[in-house]
Each structure stands twice: as structure tokens, then as C-alpha cells.
Amino acid sequence: MANQVVKWEVVNNIGIITLNRPEKRNAINGEILEGIQKAFSELSLNLEARIILLQGAGTAFSAGIDFNYLATVARDDGRAPGIRLREGIDIIHSILNKIERIEKPVVAKIHGFCGGLGLELALTADFRLASENATLGVPEIILGLIPDCGGTTRLTRMLGPVWAKELIMTGDMLPAKRAYEIGLVNQVFPEATLEEKTGAFLDKLLQRPSLALGLAKRAVDWGVGLDKMTHMEIEAYVQSLLITAKDFPETLQKGLATLLKKK
């Protein structure tokens, strides 16, 4: 299923979402945002799709926001200055927050340029796998702006204020290997093997129990910013759901068999 600029399908239990505006390096406009929202909404409810893969067609993951779209969102509409823009940002926040809360693993496969809103989209994924030719960053400061769709928020929580400030306040685009060193991406592969290595990573996730994957994700995300004891209460609550699940005995036996094979 698809609209013109976002395609999605389910293949071997993997929901694949492709930004499909290669002639614009997948610059994000209203149509792409609508497509992303619909794709993630449908795949989050699709029982066949146990994992979601996000990727970009062409030479880049995403060049960031389409400036023609930004001009439309930011134009004066007769109200107090900035209201229209803030409403537009709120819509994007809502879409990205919903992606982040999906109780399925989301993997972003990144190649080429991944900047600005493109990186902010990738930050909502649980895992970011990059090719060696990828560059990642938030260059908004060069234009006199800041990343406003979760960039300052997620980068700070993910990397800490030191690296978040360097990325945001310099606007530098980092090569993939440097992004890996600071924890911005999980793994980096040669461009020629990115497809194969991403497939192997997805296969590993598919071998893990779906309920445990989804709740492990929520346990980590819920705990960000909470005190230790509250986070530990969340752990206990999640564990109680897993261990009392109807299929837990079967899941446990399969897991023990897998662990014994590794010894």
C-alpha cells in the first residue's frame, strides 16, 4: 500500500516503509508526513508486521524538511506571529511521538544524507543502522534556526547535553563512523553490505518474542527522566505482564532451548 511519496508493505513479518521522493532526496513535505502517519498507523495494528523498517529511496535517507513546505507552514495568516508555525510543528510532534510509542521495534536504515527533520524522524526509531557513506546532523543553526521537531529533546536524552550542544550549535554533519562513536547510530556497515547486514539484524529481532520486545521498549522509554525507584516499579509491572501471559510457558521453553544451543 502507498501514497505517491511513501510506500509500505509487509514482507516476511517485516513492515517496510520507504520514503519515495528520491528526486528531492526525500525532503519531507506535507504529503510525506501524511504518508508516514498512515503507514505507521496501519503497520502498528497489522499483526503480521512484527518489526517496522524505515528507509529512503534513492541516494539519501532524507534531506530534511522541504523548504517550500516550510514556507507554507510559516507564512503569515493574519494571526499573532508564529501561531501558524507552532501549530504545524505540533502536528509533526504528534506524528513523531506516535512512531516512538509503537510497541514494535522500529529500525531506521540510513544511507547518504540524513539531516534536519530527516534525522529527527530517524531518532524516533529504536535502532539506527547506517552505511559508511551516511552523514547525520541537524544543520538548522546555520540558517539561524534550531531543530524543532524533537531534535533538541531526543538528542539531549540520547547523547547527553555535551554532544547534543555540539551537534545543534555547530550544525556539523557527522560521518557515520563518528556518529557511531558518540552513540547516534547503533551499527555502521559498508554501503555494499548495508542491505544484507540490516536483514540479519531484523532476523535476530524476529527470533525474539514479540510481546517482550514491545514491553521492553516501553519500559525503557517510560523510564527516561524518572527517578530510579519509579523506573524499577515499571520493570516489575512489565515483568508481571510477561510472566503471566498465556503463552509464556511455551515462550520460556523455546528461549531455554535457544540458550542451550549457544553453550
Q: Is 120 a catalytic residue?
A: yes
| Cα 247 from Cα 18, distance rounded (Å) | 33
Phi, psi of 135 (to 5 degrees): -130, 140
The alpha-helical segments, DSSP class H, found in the chain are 30-45, 67-74, 83-101, 117-122, 151-159, 161-170, 176-181, 194-206, 210-223, 228-243, 248-262
| Cα 74 from Cα 216, distance rounded (Å) | 39
- DSSP for residue 145: -
Find the catalytic residue in 31, 48, 120, 191.
120
Find the catalytic residue in 31, 103, 132, 140.
140
> How many other C-beta atoms lie within 10 A of the C-beta of residue 52?
26
Q: Is 250 a catalytic residue?
A: no
Q: Which three cell numbers stand for residue 227?
A: 527517578
Q: Which three cell numbers stand for residue 58?
A: 534513492
| Cα 10 from Cα 243, distance rounded (Å) | 29
| Cα 9 from Cα 244, distance rounded (Å) | 33
Q: Which three cell numbers stand for residue 239?
A: 515483568
Among candidate residues 44, 30, 136, the one with its CA nearest the CA of residue 92: 30
Rg (CA), the chain: 19
Report the catalytic residues. 120, 140
